[in-house]
Amino acid sequence: MAFIPLQPTQAERRFAASAAVLLSIYAGMALLVNQVIINGLAPPPGSPWFLLGDLAAVVFVVHHIIAERRTAADDDELRKPGPVKTLALLLVPAVAPMAIVLISIVLADYHPMLAAALACAALLLYVGRSVLTQHAYQRVQADLEKANARMFWLAEHDALTGLPNRRKFNQSLDAQWHLHATSGKPLGLLFIDIDFFKLFNDTLGHAAGDACLEKVAQLLQTGAHIHPDALVARYGGEEFVILLNDCSRKKALACAEHIREHVAQACIPHLACPTGLLSLSIGVACAAPSSDGPHPHILLENADVALYVAKQRGRNQVADGLGDELAVISLEPS
């Protein structure tokens, strides 16, 4: 029967590493003690101060046992630190410097220079550990802030296009609606849909569809630059929205047509479109919000109705929502 060696567990590896460190410290302390005794710099063995080395070793072992963060029964579940463990974690970092200081006090009557050197070593050890601890704390804090910022960004942005998502758009729409209700200025909205995008996905695959969405998102951002502070967001699927602050109906129509032409000039192949190129249908709505007026999402609904009319009229065009009636501006492909 073949002999199959057992692989050590993570806890066994940590214990072996700690034991190796402990033995190395003991070897170094034994060498130091032998040298100071041989040279007559310290009292002979049996003096109480020799117990300081044993005390430091005992504290080291106890700390290793108490600081073990995982149980043998469930290696994945972290235990909440108890009062004894918390006290040990707080006191252990100061044990080694204290032990060195006490040894230097005992040696002061026998060898003042060696005692002073040990006291300086203890101070350097304590300061060095404090500096490293503070550096580690600041690094963890910085990593935590980056992680929180990343989570906050992901909660408000679309992972594929990098644009604000529907949640962020709804928040911005509500905020801008109330802001424009106070100022009395009009608020414009563009509801954008990629023509025949399902056929694009079915023909070229979802990978090509994702790349197309990313490209269109970039084009919408560059095209919307003609209006200051325009918010471009992905509403869902192949639908996008653009919120235009302080924008009249005429400006909103001009912005929508500019964006439609900007995407058409990119010449993205789309065999399902009559022109063979990818195109957009855009619904436009504009309103002057009031504090006692309708809900802000009425603006979104009007833009959605205008988008539906643009599709019904043949797509690749801009439709203007005028409340109950819709005036459609048909635009030939450029």
Catalytic residues: 238
Task: Decide: helix, strand or coil at residue 10.
Answer: helix
Residue spans of beta strands (DSSP E) within the chain: 187-194, 231-236, 239-244, 280-287, 318-322, 325-329
d(CA 220, CA 192): 10
Do 20 and 85 touch, CB atoms closer than 8 A?
A: no
Least Cα distance to 294 among 196, 178, 200 occurs for 178
What are the C-alpha distances in Å from 159 to residues 89, 154, 172, 218, 231? 41, 7, 19, 14, 17
Task: Kindly report the number of other CB atoms within 10 A of residue 251's CB atom.
Answer: 16
Buried b (16+ CB within 10 A) or exposed e, 298-315: ebbebbbbbbbbbeeeeb
d(CA 232, CA 240): 7
- For the chain, give the longest Cα–Cα distance: 107
What are the C-alpha distances in Å from 266 to residues 2, 220, 259, 260, 331? 69, 11, 11, 10, 17
Do 282 and 310 touch, CB atoms closer than 8 A?
A: yes
d(CA 205, CA 226): 33
